Structure 1
């Protein structure tokens, strides 16, 4: 709109005509009332809302706002066999990648933590890689969210690309948040004879901040853990529900967005127990489709949120939601 917005009864008629012309004929009637009232009182300025796509994607589900946050990407020289590790099925996986026009080489791996806002609470699920590579905090702020406003942090499992962002320069990244993790998963990592640096710096160093829970237990009202073992022995996904709708936040239980869904029995090279992980995926995919849930996967390509479609009794397909800028 023209910057000559009317401020009193002496505003030139030309300014109003210019403003209406810029709005367009279709919007003229709708704009007339605000323009008239603006002559006697200054218009309130709405706080700007960051547009989807600048490292984050918001989706309204029930009364929740679910925001997928990119922690960036890492180069991936070859998709196979990492994301489809069955040695006797490499030709089959290669054919599927070609069929769907998914690059098999010189591609990237995505990292997508999720923030759920419900009933005035902000719950962050997984924290990315941290360090110089991690982009989660930057993209949180782009979405208008400061780390100290996060109320709860839940960790699906103890791999470094999920726990690395718990600390920054040796201090908690989310200083006001209660930290929550499955008890068995937490204990597995912190009792290692020689824990890796990510575990030492982010789990052991923060052990007094953690509340440890069980599979099927509530993280906060509306968010419940779902046992999804195989990727790690005690991996937990999250079911978030509100107003009759729900989203399954899979963490790494989803595997690869194409191969793990389309090929029953496919497993990933960094699954702790490949056969169990594949069985878990079939079970959780079936539940997502049967219950009509939204879904997001940690390593799915950004914006990484949508639904699943059943192709047949053994095969599924990920359908990313239609992009909405607001």
Structure 2
């Protein structure tokens, strides 16, 4: 509709109204102001972050680590999802740790060998045969659904977890018990609560202390609320394990979410 055809347009600018050009100028100025505010806030965060003492050591044998699959819950209470519906297939967060002389994968949960190979290649450029070790945080089947895709790798878990997985007799070879320090660069951390035998991994990389939490930390929201998953065997123990991880980690890799920084909020 043209101005001539618009009965509400009488040729005069009404109070509080602006021409299109005036509107665009004001919008641009407002945007610049917003950008300046964001920049100032970012400076505040940078200043705050610079005062934080990282927990990790810079001289680690770990060269890099990468998320292979970002996990999710079948039903996430923080998203307003309610039982008994399963909203999506459960997927665990799988992490690749590369150090001097080893490539370790944690919690491989893709049941499809083709999907596992595709994601490993997509996220790291590596083939299945390049993985020499696999670690499982606890005995729940979704965390080792893809274990058999790595027949040439050594399979590890904490002693109690290895015993529980081997008792299922579903694998072509046994899972071996891991000691307190794997590969002399990765620490085995008891984190009971989700299961009694649950163990997480901790290592240093580039000065950061990284904890592969497994289901000791389901998601970032669970971490912030110190809340175990609803199927945890002991919620009090689960909360204590989250506290322990909070004291160890600069970076937390949860069992069913993307990794996040464990930094105080300004």
d(CA) in 2 for partners of 1:183, 1:125: 16
2:144 is aligned with 1:163: yes
2:260 is aligned with 1:261: no
Higher relative contact order (CA 8 A, sep 6+): 2
Query: How many residues get paired?
Result: 201
d(CA) in 1 for partners of 2:71, 2:190: 27
Which digits, 9 at most, give the CA deviation of each residue in 1:190-244, with x for residues without a partner? Answer: 44xxxxxxx3323xx311xx33134xx1221311111111111111100122454
Aligned position for 1:297:
254
Aligned position for 1:36:
none
2:173 is aligned with 1:206: yes
Query: 3-state SS of the aligned residue for 2:146?
Result: helix
Aligned counterparts, 1:71-82, within 5 A: 76=74, 78-80=75-77
Query: 3-state SS of the aligned residue for 1:286?
Result: helix
Gap change, CA 1:281 and 1:122, over 3 Å in 2: same
d(CA) in 1 for partners of 2:262, 2:248: 10
| Runs of at least 5 residues in structure 2 that lack an aligned partner in the other structure | 1-57
d(CA) in 1 for partners of 2:182, 2:130: 17
d(CA) in 2 for partners of 1:110, 1:271: 17
Gap change, CA 1:244 and 1:257, over 3 Å in 2: closer
Aligned position for 1:64:
63
Gap change, CA 1:72 and 1:261, over 3 Å in 2: closer
Alignment check: 8 A CA contact 1:69 1:113 kept = yes
| Runs of at least 5 residues in structure 1 that lack an aligned partner in the other structure | 1-60, 81-96, 98-102, 168-172, 192-198, 313-326
Alignment check: 8 A CA contact 2:129 2:152 kept = yes
2:188 is aligned with 1:225: yes
Aligned position for 2:262:
308
Alignment check: 8 A CA contact 1:149 1:176 kept = no
Which has the greater radius of gyration?
2
CA shift for structure 1 position 79? 2.3
Aligned position for 2:215:
252
2:131 is aligned with 1:150: yes
Which digits, 9 at most, give the CA deviation of each residue in 1:28-53, with x for residues without a partner? Answer: xxxxxxxxxxxxxxxxxxxxxxxxxx
Alignment check: 8 A CA contact 1:71 1:136 kept = no
TM-score, length of structure 2 as denominator length:
0.66
CA shift for structure 1 position 181? 1.2
Aligned position for 1:136:
116
d(CA) in 1 for partners of 2:192, 2:101: 31
Aligned position for 2:243:
282
Aligned position for 2:151:
175
Structure (1 or 2) with the greater strand fraction: 1
Query: 3-state SS of the aligned residue for 1:254?
Result: coil
